[in-house]
A and B are shown apart, each in its own frame.
Chain A
Amino acid sequence: MTGRRVGGVARTVAIVVMVGLTIFPIYWMLVTATTDTSRLFLDAPDLLPNFGHLAAFAAALDDTALLLWLLNSAIIAVGTTVLTIATAWFAAYALSRYRFRGRGAFGLALFATQFLPEVFLLVPIYGLFLTFGLLNRLEGLMIVNAAFVVPVATWLLKTAIDAVPREIEEAARVDGAPRLAIQISIVAPLVLPSLAAVSVIAFFHAWDEFVFALTFISKADLRPASVGIASFVGELTTPLDVIMAASLIYVLPTLIFAVFAQRYVIGGLVAGSVKG
């Protein structure tokens, strides 16, 4: 075998191991969800899913409010994504294109917010939400989730906008495009990959979020799925197979969203506008 072949094989092995490590938890969820409770704690557990046994899925869908919780999660995630892009876009554009006093400090401050743990801010935000009547409201979760994603989103978008040549915007100005239209129909399409990346980050952050939802939502029918599924864990019994079945259903939309968004997270759109 030549050196190149060895390198290729090593790389393939490494990739297989990584993919295996990533996929195994999801696979094990599937196995657990399709195994009868009585067989879950054997010394030699079943290693293959048993598709004949789907009772846990039926239980998760019929006996719990899972679908409602998923809907709540979806509303929060979409709302967070829209709010994040609407806010971060203009911040990023301003940071990239305008010179103003304190621009550098502002950029650093955005980074600094990332060092604060969420739990640290739980109590102050709770007080704030109490005052504004945002407790037990999905809008409240959208706002708090967006607040934690916007700094990252702003940086991502700023970097992308930096790469769009100013001349393209100036050409549009000469051609009579209003300023906002330039951002929407010229700059935004050119940073589509970054917009897609930001959407993915915001959506997943909101979809996965647990601590704020647990603290701010006390009404059962307003729970997102993350909190809802956690509520299966009982004091006396924990229906592992139902939890795993519900979790699988919970993971599914994110997989679909990721595949959809991945199509756009590919660079190279700016090629050809100016001499390269």
Chain B
Amino acid sequence: MTITLTGVTKQFGAFKAVDNVSLSAGERDFVVLLGPSGSGKSTLLRMIAGLEDVSSGTIEIGGRRVDQMEPVERNIAFVFQTYALYPHMTVRRNIAFPLIMQRARGWHHLPFIGSIFKRRIERMPEVRERVESVARSIGLDEMLERHPRTLSGGQRQRVAVGRALVRNPTIFLMDEPLSNLDAQLRVEMRAQITRLFGQLGKTFVYVTHDQVEAMTMATLVVVLDHGQVQQIGTPREIYEHPANEFVARFIGNPPMNIFVGRRRGDRIAIDDGGPVLALPEHVRRQTADGAVLHVGARPEDVLVTPGSSGAGTAATVSAIERLGPETLVGIVFGENWQRRYGETSVEDFARLGGYSTLKPGDRIEVRFNEDRLSFFSPETGQSYSAPATIQSATAEALP
């Protein structure tokens, strides 16, 4: 099912938790809402689910307007960060619960007598088969009669997924489902959710603050900050063509290095005494000579060579983090180059392949991958993006 949000806003008093968000996700999109804490991503997800009222704007699922509907009428499934299992019910009853609710009449909810009818529904062949096949598919068939408190974190997580699957919903909503798991289990569950997405062919909306999850799972990433959409795009677009400095600094670890530069003719001079770099044609068209720009370089586009032959900008290694397959190099540029970006001193990073033998204090030379740099307006923080990326970002944003 497609999801279309138009001007969705959530206001708590004077505070706008979600501010005029519009986006549209296709039939088989894995949408990741990504942002720092307090960015409104969970609130947005809860509004799609119907757990939170919409202050203004509309939400459509499959072309049907749903923003005034109860959660159950929207036919969505929601996986909570804390799993939110029913602790007094067995795993079987937890997974069967949505099916029982579908079949229960009003008086089946009465205390005491109601439980007889609920047990009867649970034992209906169609319910039993559905629950058991879902449990098999997520490897829980051995644990159906156990209670949640006897399960491990990963198993509880799977029960929550099972409860979401059993009703065959049109859309899966997940609110940081992996953040309570340890690192190894998280990688495992990440793969399992991706596999699930492939098998089901349904729309997923997934909230996380973990950019690795966003980059690896999403077909469409929505970056949020202060309740506002910063950028919508594929993981690759978000990484390679960040729409503004926030996205540039938020995505990527370590974040994009940003320098202050001034346009000198067809080139750009970095800071005072920094290198002079090429300025792409589309940026030249959008700026005047002498204009101040912010220049962004991903750590892998900062090229480091040991020694001081004079081919690049002289610098010193300030820190080394060897991660195994790659090495992160902290860089302090020479005295001739006054770094000016930001209020506090910003450390620059380069990413080298393999296990580097550099050590702190080593003299190095730095060059940049000049055709892969990003350029931002210092006033608005917006990127001077290439025409192609403007189009793709807005095409997603404004259907």
* Interaction A to B: yes
The 8 A CB mask of A256-276 against B (1 = contact, 0 = none) is 000000000000011111110
Query: B381 contacts the other chain (Cβ, under 8 Å)?
Result: no
Complex Cα distance A42/B197, Å? Answer: 89
Asked whether any CB of chain B lies closer than 8 Å to the CB of A94, the reply is no
Q: Given A175-B97, A184-B110, are A275 and B71 also a contact pair (CB < 8 Å)?
A: no
Q: Which residues of A contact B115 (CB under 8 A)?
A: 185
Binary interface encoding of chain B residues 145-164 relative to chain A, with 1 for a CB under 8 A from any of its CBs, else 0: 00111110100100000010
Contacts of A186 in B (CB 8 A): 86
Check: B345 CB closer than 8 A to any chain A CB.
no
Interface members, chain B 122-151 (any A CB < 8 Å)? 147-151
Are A272 and B87 closer than 8 Å at their CB atoms? yes
**B83 contacts A by Cβ under 8 Å:** yes
Tell me if A165 is interfacial: C-beta within 8 Å of chain B.
yes
| CB within 8 Å for A272 and B148 given contacts A175-B97, A188-B111 | yes
* B114 at interface by CB-CB < 8 Å: yes
- On whether A272 and B97 interact (CB within 8 A), knowing A172-B86, A173-B71, A180-B109, the answer reads no
- Among the 9-residue stretches B59-67, B74-82, B348-356, the one with 4 or more Cβ atoms under 8 Å from chain A is B74-82
Report the minimum CB–CB distance from B59 to chain A (whole Å).
15
Q: Is A9 part of the contact surface with B, judged by Cβ < 8 Å?
A: no
Structural contact, A272 and B147, CB atoms closer than 8 A: yes
| Whole-angstrom CA separation of A165 from B71 in the bound complex | 18
Decide: A185 and B109 in contact? CB cutoff 8 A: yes
Choice from B72, B82, B118 contacting A174 with Cβ under 8 Å: B72
Chain A residue with Cβ nearest B52: A170
Chain B proximity mask over A215-250: 1 for CB below 8 Å, otherwise 0: 000000000000000000000000000000000000
Rounded to whole angstroms, the CA-CA distance of A175 and B167 in the bound complex is 8
Question: Does A200 make an interface contact (CB < 8 A)?
Answer: no
Query: Which A residues lie within 8 Å of B163 (CB)?
Result: 171, 175
User: Is the CB–CB distance between A190 and B87 below 8 Å?
Assistant: yes
| A273 and B80 alpha carbons, distance in the complex (Å) | 11
Which of B51, B106, B153, B167 makes the CB contact (< 8 A) with A170? B51
Whether A185 and B85, one on each chain, are in contact in the complex, defined by CB atoms closer than 8 angstroms, is no
Please measure, in the bound complex, the distance between the C-alpha atom of A275 and the C-alpha atom of B104, giving whole angstroms. Answer: 29
- Which residue of chain A has its CB nearest to the CB of B169? A174
Contacts A/B (CB < 8 Å), 17 sampled = A165-B84, A167-B80, A167-B81, A170-B78, A171-B85, A171-B86, A173-B70, A173-B72, A174-B72, A174-B77, A176-B72, A177-B97, A181-B109, A184-B111, A186-B86, A188-B111, A272-B85
Q: Which 3 A/B pairs are nearest by Cβ-Cβ distance?
A: A272-B149, A273-B87, A167-B84
